[in-house]
Amino acid sequence: MLDYAIRRILLVIPTLIVGSALLFTVINVLPPRDAIELRIGEERLAEDPGLADAQRRALGVHGPLHERYFRWLTGFVTGDWGRSLVSQRPIFDELKNRIPVSVEISLIGLFFTWTISFPLGVFAAIAQDRWPDYVLRTGAYALDALPSFVLAIMLLTYLAVYFSWAPPVTFSYIWDDPVRHLRIMLLPTMVIAVTSSGNLIRLTRTFLLEIMRQDYVRTARSKGLPEQTVLLRHALRNIALPFITVIGAQIPGLLTSSAIIENLFSLPGMGRYLVAAAQALDYPVVMTTTMFFATIILTTQLIVDLSYAWADPRISYGRSRS
């Protein structure tokens, strides 16, 4: 187990390095101009061609491409994430206030997703091939086809037109105004939960039906145990392993959804910060935020893999069976 964990960690490091090198090359080569030149303007650049280079040197983004990359990589590893080309504020200071917002949206959205999906998926499996099963499966497919931004726009429009209600415009942190904060976060997290629940409903139903066909479940039924006991003690307790995989697969989707939702609801999270930086060609912010997302995703996948052995002791990594 320990050997496997070490190998996976050592594999994550080159993955991040190669991915960051490719991303750094693309965002530095393809755009014809960067945020510094756009902020200075063509007239001032024509009057003083060296002004942009002077500002790049002051911000530490000067020199050949490979030198800039190694300078950025060293700073990212050591915690010196540089400054934004637009605001010229430290990127670390910008992100430390935005990370809690994105984490809160993702975690609450994940909680609501499971709260909605798991009971409905179990009910669909119990009512297999009856009308509740057909209704739930049809609804799950419909939710899968519904983009989060479409549902968000529909809800905002419907609530504003028919109920004269809209979420607060200015953001408040939970430690400043808890009630206002909950009003702000309720609608975005519910949008994420509803649009993410369709796939999980179908997966819960599929996993549970597969488990209910196993020999040990049929044996429990043949012993005369009540169906509720068979379901709770023998079926649901063995559904943990496939759901660990589902959680790992949901993290990238949650991060993507949270980025879209943050822009629609004007929430000061990492996703909105990344989109604004990309529009402004602020590549230090784009690089740092993207690699932060990548690190979260790869770390989550590592934790998911290691959780298999915890959920099922029969699984062993890197050891031969005797």
Mean pLDDT, rounded, of the chain: 81
**Could you report the per-residue pLDDT of 170-222, keeping only the tens digit for each?**
777 877 778 888 888 888 888 888 988 888 899 888 888 888 888 887 887 78
Do the beta carbons of residue 292 and residue 95 sit within 8 Å?
yes
Do the beta carbons of residue 295 and residue 252 sit within 8 Å?
no
According to the model, what pLDDT value does residue 322 have? 42
Output the CA angle 25-272-198, nearest 5 degrees: 100
- SS3 assignment, position 281: coil
Nearest to 269 by CA among 253, 282, 255, 250: 255
For domain 94-279, give the CATH number: 1.10.3720.10
Strand-pair partners of 83? 90
H/E run at residue 295: helix 283-311
According to the model, what pLDDT value does residue 311 have? 63
CA distances, 111 to each of 106, 118, 243, 250 (Å): 9, 11, 14, 12
Cα–Cα dist 240/313, whole Å:
12
Highest averaged pLDDT of the listed ranges 6-20, 40-54, 215-229: 6-20
Cα–Cα dist 5/121, whole Å:
33
Handedness of CA 189, 193, 196, 200 (dihedral sign): positive
- Ordered by start, the domain boundaries in the chain are 11-78, 94-279
- SS3 assignment, position 269: coil
**Could you report the per-residue pLDDT of 271-321, keeping only the tens digit for each?**
889 988 888 878 888 888 988 888 888 888 888 777 776 666 666 555 544
Residue 38 — very low, low, confident or very high, per pLDDT cuts 50/70/90? low
